[in-house]
Amino acid sequence: MGRESERLEKWPFARECPVLPPGAYAERRSRCPISQVELWDGSSAWLLTRYADIRAALRDARFSSDSSVPRFPAPNEAIAAARRVQRGFVRLDGEDHNRQRRLLAPYFTVNHVQSLRPLVEEKVNALLDAMETHGGPVDLVECLAEPLPVFLTCALLGLSSDDSPYLLDRVKTWMSADSKAEDATKAANDIIDFFRRVIEIEAANPTGGMVAELIRQHVMEGDISQEELLWMLHLLLVGGFDTAANMISLGTVTLLNHPHELAQMTADPSRVTKVVEELLRFHSVAHFTAGRLAKEDLIVGDQAIHAGEGIVAPLPAANFDPAAFPDPERFNPDRNARTHLAFGFGIHQCLGQPVARLELSIVFAQLFKRFPTLRLAVPESDLAYNNSMIYGLRRLPITW
Amino acid sequence: MKIEILREKCVGAGNCVELAAKIFGQDEADGKVVLKSAAEIDENPDVRQAAMLCPVGAILIDGKAP
């Protein structure tokens, strides 16, 4: 247990199967559930592998989420660099964090999000109409998985849906592994400029909606600065984009691979809730979340961790712990998957989770209803997975 | 079982409302949890799970955040 005398294995671990977590999590969990790993920069961190430990650590205020500090555990150099310039409240601790998050909480209540249902249904239908008109094969990522979350973010923020295509283009360019570095940087800056303009416009001529309300009720009251608001809006876009998009694409493949469970869902649409929860657990797309730094000496499980030491508490490791989810590698919508940690845990648990659940439940219900003969247009072995901060598919050629 | 809400911890995630809507509500103004039932209720597994799902431990069951 604890520090090992042999050279430390580097994290992140490789996946043997593209739709399952690395086997090394299960191996460590049974042999040494809290152990050291080496990170990209040669530093070491404690790797947690048990659901109970990951859950406890993420809820523990003695761990910091401030990824701007140089020692903060990160999966690779690019992500470390990106997180260092992150200024949204995802990297704040304690009351600094809570103060900002709470300003957004009213826009993400269960009731408020449910009120978006007609809008989401209409948009999903429109995107499916376009697919049908075009005829197969199409790339589901381009036609559905990516446009929908950006549209939703615009709707949540009270922006015009006319802004959606521009924002989608900028986000895709910024996040794409295929983009040249300078194009990605320009796209990232364009997104910041876009939100700056939105704030300026709403401050001068409020149109109503979230941004105008936040400016009137909080920026003008001195609760937050305009700069803080800017980074909040940015975080809302980033937090909800490739997470949802990748869940749509990966979820589609998994349902195609489980025709029995798919048939059960089409026969009984009330099952979509269970299907969505199990897909969230099964895919755990935020697979490099969560790193933390200990602010003081503490104990996790039976391991003493010292102030300043980093931990890596991967969500897929928690979600595939057989102690929490028996036979975890089986996609089983009838299990109680609701206790999964796909949205994280603690004060930073995903603010957008009700939105994610809403859009995923509508997408999977409508997609397979509209295209009952949906199938892959390429061999599954041809699918290209995107092993970036959020796991997913670059393209998903489908037909019907 | 005794239910206690720590509103100052609540960040408005809403997991409790989804799990046990008869017991937990959400203040539309600030998103924070509201206890709709009495503090002492019969054993209720949904309420226990709601407390377990609270990401910040703002729901205590018999004095403890599960």
DSSP B40: B
Question: How crowded is residue A193: how many other Cβ atoms within 10 Å of its Cβ?
Answer: 11
Give A330-342 pLDDT, tens digit per residue: 999 999 999 999 9
Q: How remote is the C-alpha of B27 from its chain's centroid?
A: 13
What ipTM does this complex have? 0.95
Which residues of chain A lie closer than 8 angstroms to B19, CB-CB?
Answer: 338
Parallel, antiparallel or unpaired: strands A397-399 and A375-376: antiparallel
Contacts of A286 (CB under 8 A, 6+ apart): A243, A315, A342, A343, A344, A389, A390
Q: From A324, A336, A284, A314, select the one nearest A20 (Cα to Cα).
A: A284
All structural domains of chain B: 3-61 (3.30.70.20)
Integer Cα distance of A366 and A271 in angstroms: 13
Do A393 and A384 touch, CB atoms closer than 8 A? Answer: yes
Contact B55 A98 (CB under 8 A): no
Q: From B58, B45, B19, select the one nearest A347 (Cα to Cα).
A: B58
Residue in chain B closest to A114 (alpha carbons) equals B18
Q: Is residue A62, in this structure, part of any structural domain at all?
A: yes
Structural domains of chain A, count: 1
Q: Is residue A231, in this structure, part of any structural domain at all?
A: no
Q: Is residue A33, in this structure, part of any structural domain at all?
A: yes
Range of the domain at A99: 23-146+241-399
**How distant is the Cα of A210 from the closest Cα of chain B, in angstroms?**
13
Which residues of chain A lie closer than 8 angstroms to B53, CB-CB?
Answer: 338-339
| Max intra-chain CA distance, chain A | 64
B36 in contact with chain A, both atoms CB, cutoff 8 A:
no
Residue in chain A closest to B26 (alpha carbons) equals A109
Q: Give the angle subtended at the CA of A29 by the CAs of A25 and A34, to the nearest 5°.
A: 100
Integer Cα distance of B19 and B11 in angstroms: 16
**pLDDT at position A6, please?**
61
* CATH number, residue A67: 1.10.630.10
Integer Cα distance of A270 and A264 in angstroms: 10
Q: Is residue A195, in this structure, part of any structural domain at all?
A: no
Q: Residues A37-42: what's their mean pLDDT?
A: 95
Which pTM value belongs to this model?
0.95
Give A290-302 pLDDT, tens digit per residue: 899 999 999 999 9
Of the partner residues A101, A109, A344, the one whose CB lies closest to the CB of residue B26: A109
Q: Is residue A88, in this structure, part of any structural domain at all?
A: yes
pLDDT band at B54 (very low <50, low <70, confident <90, very high): very high
Q: Residues B17-42: what's their mean pLDDT?
A: 94
Q: Is residue A230, in this structure, part of any structural domain at all?
A: no
